[in-house]
């Protein structure tokens, strides 16, 4: 298997390089996003291991650029707690992600698994189970009582952000920044509209999670719901 590692941190790159070579992969390391794109588009790689935080181009944009022209598998390296980064990475077409710091063996196992997968949509995907809600982060689906709920990408991003911040009061501005991004020019009432959509689509019977309105502030996610 030929692996391209796009990572600016020399220490991390060395660990990945060593682990992949020991596993019998051929490896090339590129420290910049620009170099990574050029190398990946040159072809011949089975897998790109892509750091999200690169000095020149955001890893998400690197992923998008690679994805636009090749179907090479992409494994993202993301920082812990950066749920929105993972979501952005997967949105940009990454096949899987590994959270830093990671064990080299885990990385190699993920790389092997990706190389065997026939297609981008056939991930094993561990659901987040909350009450009757089964949330599949990679498939980006919510299954409730066996029914697949059709959420738009934005609704799903919003749901993931809420789910990963249980019990916290999230202001409309926080939600806007994380789910819509800094460049969003619309008003904060879009958050209310989307929370409304989620409440409509995901029934909340006792024991299920709930999106609670915090009057005048924003919203809080209650994983078990309120009695």
**Residues making contact with Ca ion (CB under 5 A):** 8-9, 51, 53
Q: Whose Cβ is closer to Ca ion: residue 6's or residue 211's?
A: 6
Measured from the CB of residue 82, what is the shortest distance to Ca ion in angstroms?
A: 12
Parallel, antiparallel or unpaired: strands 26-30 and 2-6: parallel
- Nearest approach, Cβ of residue 13 and Ca ion (Å): 9
Note the Cα 120 to chain centre separation in Å: 14
Residue placing its CB nearer to Ca ion in the complex, 40 or 176:
40
For the bound state, the minimum distance from the C-beta of residue 88 to Ca ion, rounded and expressed in Å, comes to 15
Q: Which long-range contacts (CB under 8 A, 24 or more apart) does 177-185 make?
A: 178/84, 179/84, 179/154, 180/154
Choice between 63 and 144, CB closer to Ca ion: 63
β-pair partners for 96: 75
**Tokens at 95, concatenated:** 């096949």
- Per DSSP, 220 falls in state E
C-beta closer to Ca ion: residue 8 or 85: 8
User: Judged by CB, which is closer to Ca ion: 59, or 137?
Assistant: 59
What is the nearest approach in angstroms of Ca ion to the Cβ of residue 217? 35
**Which residue number is nearest to Ca ion in terms of Cβ?**
53
Q: Dihedrals φ, ψ of 28, to 5°?
A: -130, 135
List alpha helices for the chain, DSSP H.
10-22, 33-42, 59-69, 83-91, 104-116, 153-163, 172-175, 189-201
Distance CA 216, CA 166 (A): 19
């Amino acid at each position: 298997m030929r692996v391209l590692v796009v990572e600016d941190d020399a220490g991390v790159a060395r660990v990945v390089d060593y682990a992949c070579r020991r596993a019998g992969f051929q490896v090339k390391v590129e420290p910049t996003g620009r170099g990574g794109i050029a190398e990946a588009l040159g072809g011949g790689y089975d897998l790109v291991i892509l750091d999200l935080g690169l000095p020149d181009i955001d890893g998400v944009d690197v992923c998008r650029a690679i994805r636009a022209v090749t179907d090479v598998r992409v494994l993202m390296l993301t920082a812990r707690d950066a749920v929105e980064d993972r979501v952005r990475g997967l949105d940009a077409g990454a096949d899987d992600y590994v959270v830093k710091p990671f064990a080299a063996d885990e990385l190699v196992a993920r790389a092997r698994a990706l190389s065997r997968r026939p297609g981008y949509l056939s991930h094993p995907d561990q659901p987040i189970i909350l009450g009757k809600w089964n949330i599949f982060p990679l498939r980006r689906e919510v299954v409730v009582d066996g029914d697949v709920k059709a959420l738009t990408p934005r609704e799903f991003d919003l749901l993931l952000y809420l789910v990963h911040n249980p019990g916290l009061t999230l202001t409309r501005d926080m939600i806007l920044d994380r789910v819509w991004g800094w460049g969003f020019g619309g008003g904060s009432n879009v958050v209310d509209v989307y929370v409304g959509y989620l409440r409509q689509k995901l029934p909340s019977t006792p024991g299920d999670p709930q999106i609670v309105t915090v009057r005048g502030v924003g919203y809080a996610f209650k994983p078990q719901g309120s009695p």
